[in-house]
Amino acid sequence: MTIGSLALVLFAVIAASGGQLMLKHGMQVATARTRGGGSLVIAAATTPWVLLGLLVFAVSAVVWLAALSRVPLSLAYPFNALGYLVILTASILVLHERANLLTWAGTVLVVSGLVIVVLSKP
């Protein structure tokens, strides 16, 4: 895998993770707006964080397609495991969610699998 291909894969994974975080935050905002009544669909469709999250997620999909044109899927796809680590860490730091020891252990195991796959490829 070249440096450029690796950069595409990593950008796609990080952008997808960022998009998911924006979507989660946006849905929290939309849900709060509908507590007094109203449509969650309309609130979500008019929440800037949801719209930005969708845009970032769409960009990540396009970059992912570019990465797949250069890297075998069997090598590229395991990098999605990094998304678990990025999302878990950011959800704690940015969204103030909680994670227990088992969540961290599972994430470490998944990322360890990524390392094993990447190191086993010729």
Six token digits for residue 87 = 């999302």
Reported as a single tens digit per residue, the pLDDT across 4-27 is 999 999 999 999 999 999 999 999
- Whole-prediction pTM value? 0.83
Cα angle 120, 85, 94; round to 5: 160
With contact defined as beta carbons under 8 Å apart, do 63 and 8 qualify? Answer: yes
Reported as a single tens digit per residue, the pLDDT across 47-80 is 999 999 999 999 999 999 999 999 998 888 888 8
